[in-house]
Structure 1
Amino acid sequence: MSIKKKLGMGVVSAALGLSLIGGGTFAYFSDTVATTNTFASGTLDLSINPEYVIKAENIKPGDIMPRAFELKNDGSLDISSVDIHTDYDVDYGDKYNGGDLGEHILVHFMKNVDKNGLGNIVVGPNNVITSTTLAELRDANGLPDAVANKLYVNLPWLGETNGEKAGLKAGDSDDLVVVFEFVDNDEDQNTFQDAELTLYWNFEAHQTSGTLK
């Protein structure tokens, strides 16, 4: 082999060796920027006014006790529904010989004043959403929805009809009416004389569905 060919092969081998050592890398301009990101969650804050729904003394079978109260959303998130969880304790008197007073207290849930489209409190049989005893409410565990409106319609040419949309927007409030009735069922109800029933209502608010942010 001639000297020129040997030198040529040596140069090629040296270049290949440098390429392998260098790893075939090249230098480019680059730039970076840092971001600080936050995820701040909203709040569900339901309040009731007054703090108690009913206080009644010296009641007897046949008594009817209408009561009004306000639910307000003091949080930053809209509420989709409000479940009412019921429980109660009864302190019976000396004449007690059996029975559950909660089975004799009927609760009539009236249409939500803000949802019925009338703009005022209407107590009457035509505005009753559902009627159930305290005992049945306790066993139902979370009924009914206090801010529901299944009849809500939004028509482009008429606007909103039948009151407000179901749920409770942040900063908004709803006026509600319930009618308690000590049912006179023609039975011997002397067992409930001098009894005292303490009713516990827990209002559980639920968030609306997730949305695109």
Structure 2
Amino acid sequence: MNIKKQLGLGIASAALGLTLVSGGTFAYFSDTETSSNTFAAGTLDLAAAPTEIIEVDNIKPGDTMVRDFELQNNGTLDIEKVLLDTDYTVTDAAGDNTGDFGEHIMVEFLYNADKLDEVIYQTTLAELKTMTPEAVNENVFLPLLGENGLPVGTIDDLVVQFNFVDNGEDQNEFQGDTLSLEWTFTAQQTAGEDK
């Protein structure tokens, strides 16, 4: 091989080597920006005051008891629905009950204490116990609270009237009995929205 060819091949090899070396290490401009993001969940905080709505002794058929209580939204989210679950137990003092004491206690949800004739919904404790919480919301709380539900920071006064119904028949089996009523209020949020 002549010297020109060798010299040309050497230069070509050197150029190829430089190309491979410089191709793997090249410089470029860059910039970095960090974004800090936060997701903070709101709170649902429904309170009923007082927590004991009724405690009464020595009732008899024909007695009426009016009580008022508040539902308070102490959270940071609006409440769309208030659901009510009813449960009760009866202590049969004489052990002679053939009927359910709850069937003889009528519950009337009222608009306010001044107008006791404005009944929103009326049922017995026994029927209220079998109703779904959604049905109670539809029949009681929707008419009371309206479409807006219970917005943040609001308090709604509610009035309920209990009647020991005098059915005109023998109700002696309920003498000395105790009915322990438990109402569980559950708040549900409003629908999600674009933020």
TM-score range for the pair, normalised by the shorter chain length: 0.7 to 0.9
Distance 1:23 1:185, change over 3 A: farther
TM-score (norm 1): 0.76
Runs of 4+ in structure 1 displaced over 2 angstroms? 2-28, 163-166
Structure 2: how far apart are the matches of 1:9 and 1:137?
A: 100
Q: How many residues align?
A: 192
Equivalent residue for 2:172?
190
Which of residues 126, 129, 137 in structure 2 aligns to 1:138?
A: 129
Deviation at 1:24, TM superposition (A): 7.6
Question: In the TM superposition, what is the alpha-carbon distance from 1:149 to its structure 2 partner?
Answer: 3.7
More helix as a share of residues: 2
Normalising by the residue count of structure 2, what TM-score does the alignment of the two structures yield? Answer: 0.82
Q: Which residue of 2 aligns with 1:46?
A: 46
Cα offset, 1:68, TM superposition: 0.9
2:142 aligns to what? Answer: 148
Distance 1:4 1:74, change over 3 A: same
State the 1:209 CA deviation. Answer: 0.7
For 2:143 and 2:115, the matched residues in 1 are separated by: 16
| 2:167 matches 1:175 | no
Taking the aligned partners of 1:149 and 1:194, their CA distance within structure 2 comes to 36
Compared CA separation, residues 196 and 16, structure 1 to 2 (3 A): same
Whole-Å separation in 2 of the counterparts to 1:16 and 1:85: 84
| TM-fit CA distance, 1:174 | 0.4
State the shift of 1:202 in Å.
0.6
The aligned residue for residue 123 of structure 1 is: 116
Quote the offset at 1:60 in angstroms. 1.2
Q: What is the Cα deviation at residue 27 of structure 1?
A: 3.1
Long gaps (5+) in structure 2? none
**Distance of aligned partners of 1:171 and 1:105 in 2 relative to their CA distance in 1, 3 Å threshold:** same
Give distance in 2, aligned partners of 1:69 and 1:212. 35
Q: Any idea what the Cα deviations from partners look like across 1:144-166, whole Å, max 9, x if unmatched?
A: 2254248xxxxxxxxxxxx8643
Q: Which has the larger radius of gyration?
A: 2
Q: CA RMSD in A?
A: 2.7
**Which residue matches 2:97?**
97
Residue of structure 2 equivalent to 1:210: 192
Matches within 5 A, 1:149-164: 149=143
Q: CA separation of 1:94/1:29 partners in 2, compared to 1, >3 Å: closer, same or farther?
A: same
1:32 aligns with 2:25: no
Secondary structure, aligned partner of 1:169:
coil
**For residues 46 and 121 of structure 1, do their structure 2 counterparts lie closer, same or farther at Cα, with a shift above 3 Å needed?**
farther
Assess, with a 3 A threshold, how the Cα gap between structure 1 residues 90 and 24 changes in structure 2: closer, same or farther: same
Aligned to 1:116: none
